[in-house]
Structure 1
Amino acid sequence: MKELFSLPDETKEKNVHSKPHRKTGYLAKIEAVPLFESLGIINAHILDEAREFTYLMWPNGNPTVCQTIHSVAKMLQELEGVVRKMIFENLGVEDYYDSNMKNSDNIFRVLKYKAPRNGESNIGLPPHTDKSILTILYQYTNGLEFLSKEGQWFETQPGTFIVLAGEALMAWSNGRIHAPTHRVVINGEKDRYSYAIFATPNEGATVEIPKELIDKDHPLRFRSFDYMEFLRYLYANPHLDNPLKIYAGVEAV
């Protein structure tokens, strides 16, 4: 992982996506999060996608890095599929599982947070919710924190896989699945590394609540919406509080 981040900036900047609202490529030098740097690959569990990325980073590719990215992404993709199936079965909507998986992509990310220096803030990422269906993350050192319903931050343990629901799943489940607010805090003098997979609806996919999840006790909370249009809205309005509710929320009658 360190080998990737040690590449020249102009090389890492080749990791781009034609649609910036997807934020799937290289992310760095963001004023609000100066400690944060990340590279992303769509569907890296497919060997050709991982190989294409490494040829972008190295003139002759890098078989070792390619195999590492592919094997880790494949493992996370399979784990995400198992977790998503468990959620669908628990909600009683397992008949939707195959189509939901078919209409989703996986974005594999390697992430680096520089240790703060010279009085810099130790906030690696400010409080936010993911916009994915599910996120599965592995952190080598602690730093990821979740906000409880009581308004308290609590740490997560290093060396563990962490599953987070995103706003796409919260909307699709009619609010039955909660998308937690979380942040990254950098403690100590060492850089922090982690990797994650973000399962998201793919191009053209609509987030629509199954009729089985709407009833008297659970009235409709979100209208159907095109996921990519939602991302474009977020890209154009980055500082909104609760953008999902503003964009797709249904007022109670």
Structure 2
Amino acid sequence: MGSETPLRLPVIDFSKEELKPGTEEWESVKSQVRKALEEYGCFEALFNKVPAELRKGIVGAMEELFELPLQTKLRNVSKKPFHGYVGQYPQAPLYESMGIDDANISQNVDSLTSVLWPQGNPIFRVMKYKGPQTTDTQLGLHPHTDKNIVTILYQNQVDGLEVKTKDGEWINVKLSPDSFVVMIGDSLYAWANGLLYSAYHRVMMTGNEARYSAGLFSIPKAGYMIKAPEELIDEQHPLLFRPFDHVEFLKFYYTEAGQRESALKTYCGV
């Protein structure tokens, strides 16, 4: 009896030179992205244009960042819940993360680096999952859906990310050095009126090596109401969620009621 082929995320190649708006290749990739987000809520994006030296530098900078003393890391604060330093939680002892709000604005990055390295540091949401120092598999981060619009993740070559399918099976995500994970969150799921899939995912760790990942999270500004467009609502697709403010939803999510299953449905489901 032959063994079944392991499940894997769709792989979409963004490296081709002919991938330009209006081309056949562009339309093909658009179709692949839509299908992947409808079925899996995420995909592996292959992009081989990032130099190996830069990739190595990113991972090295993350290692250096998390080696800072805890008191220094605690200076990474944010008014938004879980947007600054996160760690030291008994429920997820292997997990640490740090983040910069509006990381596309250089002064925000400069502000964080000046707080963490007052004497300056020419190198610069990053996450670390400690190796559990055992061959037993241990939880690195509990199953959850992202609450933002879109997440793009890059990791070192230590696996651990798992994504849950609609059928309840877990896909062990194994990435090449040229790959990124693109995943939608609950905010885009609500905006699309459920036509896309917001996948549960978790991190499971084994062995001695730490897993480092860097994530770019697109997040609506406070006060912006997430609302499904009229053209996505009809008899076959009735409205699933009332309009909501993402930041207010985040505040709810970190309450006892928000930690139960289907936080989005509990918060603003129709």
Task: Give TM-score, length-normalised by structure 2.
Answer: 0.73
Matching of residue 55 in structure 1 with residue 99 in structure 2: no
What is the aligned partner in structure 1 of residue 181 from structure 2?
A: 162
Structure 1 residue 188, shift from structure 2 partner: 2.0
Structure 1 125/215 Cα, relative in aligned 2: closer, same or farther at 3 Å?
A: same
CA RMSD of aligned residues (A): 1.5
Query: Secondary structure, in 3 states, of the residue corresponding to 2:123?
Result: helix
Structure 1 residue 239, shift from structure 2 partner: 2.5
Query: Any residues of structure 2 matched to 1:147-186 within 5 Å, and which?
Result: 147-158=164-175, 159=177, 160-186=179-205
Matching of residue 229 in structure 1 with residue 211 in structure 2: no
What is the aligned partner in structure 1 of residue 268 from structure 2?
A: 248
| Farther-moved stretch of structure 1 (156-165 vs 26-35) | 156-165
What is the aligned partner in structure 2 of residue 214 from structure 1?
A: 233
1:22-63 Cα shifts (integer Å, max 9, x gaps) = x11000001211100011001222211111110010112212
Higher helix share: 1
| Farther-moved stretch of structure 1 (50-59 vs 149-158) | 149-158
Query: Any residues of structure 2 matched to 1:19-98 within 5 Å, and which?
Result: 19=80, 21=81, 23-65=82-124
Structure 1 residue 120, shift from structure 2 partner: 7.9
What is the aligned partner in structure 2 of residue 139 from structure 1?
A: 155
Letter matched to residue 78 of structure 2: H
Larger Rg: 2
What is the aligned partner in structure 2 of residue 194 from structure 1?
A: 213
Distance in 1 between residues matched to 2:116 and 2:221, nearest whole Å: 25
Q: Is the 8 A contact 2:134 2:208 kept in 1?
A: no
Letter matched to residue 223 of structure 1: R
1:118-175 Cα shifts (integer Å, max 9, x gaps) = 7986110111110010111012121111112222111112232001110000001100
Q: 1:2 aligns with which of 54, 60, 63?
A: 63
1:98-119 Cα shifts (integer Å, max 9, x gaps) = xxxxxxxxxxx11100011479
Distance in 2 between residues matched to 1:232 and 1:177, nearest whole Å: 24
What is the aligned partner in structure 2 of residue 113 from structure 1?
A: 129
Runs of 4+ in structure 1 over 3 Å off: 117-121
Distance in 2 between residues matched to 1:53 and 1:155, nearest whole Å: 34
Q: Is the 8 A contact 1:133 1:168 kept in 2?
A: yes
Distance in 2 between residues matched to 1:156 and 1:46, nearest whole Å: 31
Structure 1 residue 227, shift from structure 2 partner: 1.4
Distance in 1 between residues matched to 2:164 and 2:216, nearest whole Å: 21
Tell me, which stretches of 5 or more residues in structure 1 are unaligned? 66-108
Query: Secondary structure, in 3 states, of the residue corresponding to 1:164?
Result: strand
Structure 1 residue 247, shift from structure 2 partner: 0.9
Q: Is the 8 A contact 2:140 2:202 kept in 1?
A: yes
Give the fraction of aligned pairs with identical amino acids, expressed as a percent.
44
Count of aligned residue pairs for this structure pair: 205
Structure 1 residue 211, shift from structure 2 partner: 0.8
Q: Is the 8 A contact 2:133 2:207 kept in 1?
A: no
Structure 1 117/161 Cα, relative in aligned 2: closer, same or farther at 3 Å?
A: same
Q: Is the 8 A contact 1:137 1:195 kept in 2?
A: yes
What is the aligned partner in structure 1 of residue 146 from structure 2?
A: 130
Q: Is the 8 A contact 2:98 2:127 kept in 1?
A: yes
